[in-house]
Copies of this chain bind each other. A is one copy, B any other.
Amino acid sequence: MLTKKELKEYCADAYENYLGHISIDCVVFGFHEGLMKVLLLEIKSESEWYLPGGFVLKKEPIEMAANRILKERTGLDHIFLQQFHVFGDPERSKEHFDMYKDLLPEKENWFTNRFLTIGYYALVDFNDVNPAPDQFSTTCTWCDLNNVPSLKLDHALILKTALDTLRLHLNYQPIGYNLMQKEFTMPELQKLYETILDKKLDRRNFQRRILGFGILKRSEQPRKGGAHKAPYLYSFDLENYSAALTEGFKGGW
């Protein structure tokens, strides 16, 4: 939590530069050692956590705002981002109201305003990220998706909605390019799917299906040096991949 002086400065800056009543919260998914990870911040002097977020500059497109926010938290540019929902309950930021309401009079207190938040989910390569805390946090770090600490505000709902949306998108979009390293084996990719879906898949059927999408290229050389049988290496066929991203898989109707 900020001191009164810090808060005052922050609010003055915010009123001058950002759109009122609107915030952005990002659910950043990564994949590492067979586990789904989400990027979280730990609030100063409390052991509470929240999603990376921020505000929209007065003349900034919202996608750009989300990118800017994530660049600050991860060091990455050109992140794969997907807007998924606006959370607009008038009571959703009540915790913030209460926390800051006594420090500054309401008129100059940015945090006693109501905020709608636009939810984005991001898919990133775990290894590329350099987590950096923001002004309100001591720590920025990856947490296991199946072991998420208690979150502030409605951030638990935002996280759940993001995950549901991601699982849905799995059915008609290719996913993986933004989460995997350039080359990977079929079992590694399968593990990604299993982790997102939280269920086991059959090796052989998975391979048949994913190859059927035509978004993978197999390298000439298998990965050597590892234990056991040397697996083939795959990479995404970017042309087909992005075509599938815009057109989607199988229609239904």
List residues of A whose CB falls within 8 A of some B CB: 19-22, 56, 58-63, 83, 85-86, 88-90, 114, 116, 118, 168, 170-172, 193, 197, 199, 201, 248, 251-253
Contacts and interface: CB of A to CB of B under 8 A. Distances in A.
Contact of A114 (B19, B63, B199, B252): B19
23 contacts: A19-B21, A19-B116, A20-B20, A21-B21, A21-B22, A22-B22, A22-B116, A56-B88, A56-B116, A58-B90, A59-B114, A61-B90, A62-B88, A83-B85, A83-B86, A86-B86, A116-B118, A168-B248, A170-B252, A170-B253, A172-B252, A199-B253, A201-B253
A252 B171 contact: yes
Contacts of A86: 62, 83, 86, 118
Contact of A58 (B88, B114, B170): B114
A19 B89 CA distance: 13
A63 B56 CA distance: 22
A176 B62 CA distance: 34
A116 B116 CA distance: 11
Contacts of A20: 19-21
A62 B87 CA distance: 8
Contact of A88 (B63, B90, B199): B63
Contacts of A61: 88-90
A112 B83 CA distance: 26
Contacts of A88: 56, 61-63, 118
Contacts of A168: 172, 248
A170 B172 CA distance: 13
Contacts of A171: 172, 251-253
A38 to B, nearest CB: 20
Contacts of A118: 86, 88, 116
B116 A62 contact: yes
